[in-house]
Structure formats: structure tokens, C-alpha cells
Amino acid sequence: QKEVEQNSGPLSVPEGAIASLNCTYSDRGSQSFFWYRQYSGKSPELIMSIYSNGDKEDGRFTAQLNKASQYVSLLIRDSQPSDSATYLCAVIENAGNMLTFGGGTRLMVKP
Amino acid sequence: AAGVIQSPRHLIKEKRETATLKCYPIPRHDTVYWYQQGPGQDPQFLISFYEKMQSDKGSIPDRFSAQQFSDYHSELNMSSLELGDSALYFCASSSKDGGGTDTQYFGPGTRLTVL
């Protein structure tokens, strides 16, 4: 079992809709959670970080964290075709400061 | 704002050759991380340095070594290259701020192709 898991997708949503991306993790000691966006052949680009239970909003993006359920999600409102990319969930686990990534979810926003 | 710089951006090597990848962190960042991303895979952590000392070690082959220099730039040295080493190599940097949690910012990557 992977330590961080995501549905690989593709997740297809129409332009203007809400895209919901989910991630689960196994290490209960994990404290830091990140969402990165990665276009094909490019580097991961930080979208959001979240450390406390609840919601964190930044523009069209909302990250949600539930440590009891070991679950973190990303909502993208008013999805645009330019949002089409792979979204990587990343966790800093209890030991060390390295990022452990989920497999990524490919999002396709159709005009 | 200044970002992480990596060089070279592309590198082609033959099997059994050596390669050196360079990373220049964001100014005032003191921690550097190296990740390897194979085709269709997510990034895998290799090694990290904080204040020029190795801080964490991941799935880095013994054929690879790395260090961080006094100006905080880092180099990843890869020897006896194998076909399976063909991948994107990312460097990320962070700063240990007062909160103690490190947000990592990635460089553009080096695409290594081993023939």
C-alpha cells in the first residue's frame, strides 16, 4: 500500500464546473500537506499548503484537511481549460522533511 | 521573484558515463532537496541538505552522491549511468522559517537521457 494515494484519473469536468481532487495518507504523524500542479514535462508548481484541520481558500482553490480521516482534498472552482494538468498531493510525514507524493490525478477541463 | 535554477536543462549521456547536475536554490533558502521522476511516475525523493550537511536520504543509488556548498548550491553526481537513470531530476529548495514547516519550491528540472 502506498503511503499517499490518489485516484489517477483522468478526471474530466466541463469548463466552469468544480473539480474535486482527493488524497489519503497512511502516516498519522504527518503534519504538512501540499498540492502541486504539474504540466507534462514541467516541474511541480505549488498551489496550496495546509497544516490544520479545516478549509483553506486561495482564489479559486480550496484545500480541505481531515486528520482524523487522514484525508486531504483540493477543490477548484470555475475550472478553466488551463487547469488541465496532473495534480500531485504531497505529504511531509513524521520522520524527515522530504515530500512523499501520491501518484497524481490527471485533470481534464473541457471547453 | 527569483526561483530555483538548475543546469543543465537537458543532458544526454552514454551508459557507464558520469553526469553532474547543478542546483542553485532560491536566495536565502538553506535547504536543498533532490527528486527523481521517471516517465509516468511521481517524484521520488533522493537526498536533502540543510546548511551544507546531509539531512535526509531516500532511495538514492550508491552510484549517486551529492553535496551542498558554502554558497548553498548543490550538485548531484551520478556515475556508471544506466538506462534506468533516464528521468527528470528536480531540485527543490526551502527555508526553515519560524514555523518550522518547509514549503518546497521546485526548479525547472534536468532531463537526463542515457543511451
Residue from the list A97, A98, A103 with its beta carbon closest to the beta carbon of B42: A103
Per-residue confidence (pLDDT) for residue B100, from 0 to 100: 52
- Quick one: pLDDT at residue A70? 96
Task: Tell me the per-residue pLDDT of A42-79, one tens digit each, with 9 for 90 and over.
Answer: 999 999 999 999 999 999 999 999 999 999 999 999 99
Mean pLDDT over residues B8-24, rounded? 98
Closest-approach residue (CA) in chain B for A98 = B45
**pLDDT at residue A95, rounded to an integer:** 75
- For residue B97, what pLDDT is reported? 64
What confidence tens digit (pLDDT) does each residue in B60-112 have?
999 999 999 999 999 999 999 999 999 999 999 998 765 556 799 999 999 99
Selected for mutation to probe chain B from A98, A100, A101, A106 (highest B CB count within 10 Å) is A98
Cell of A96: 524527515
pLDDT value of residue A108: 98
pLDDT one-digit tens code per residue, B28-46 = 898 999 999 999 999 999 9
Contacts of A104 in chain B (CB under 8 A): 42
% of chain A surpassing 90 pLDDT: 89
**CA–CA gap between residue A13 and residue A31 (Å, rounded):** 31
CA distance linking residue A1 with residue A26, whole number of Å: 9
Calculate the alpha carbon distances from B78 to A60, A91, B40, B86 in Å: 41, 27, 22, 11
Closest to A11 in 3D by CA, of A103, A85, A108:
A108
The whole-angstrom separation of Cα B94 and Cα B100 is 11
Q: How far is CA B1 from CA A65, A91, B80, B105, in A?
A: 29, 25, 37, 12
Cβ(A91)–Cβ(A99) under 8 Å?
A: yes
Task: Quick: pLDDT tens for B43-57.
Answer: 999 999 999 999 999
Contacts of B11 by beta carbon, 8 Å cutoff, 6+ apart: B19, B21, B110, B111, B112, B113
CB B22 within 8 A of CB B75: yes
pLDDT of residue A109: 98
Asked if B56 lies within 8 A of A98 by C-beta distance, the reply is yes
pLDDT at B24: 97
* Nearest-CB residue to B105 (from A46, A51, A103): A46
The string over A68-94, giving b where at least 16 C-beta atoms fall within 10 Å of a residue's C-beta and e elsewhere, is eebebbbbbeebeeebbbbbbbbbbbe
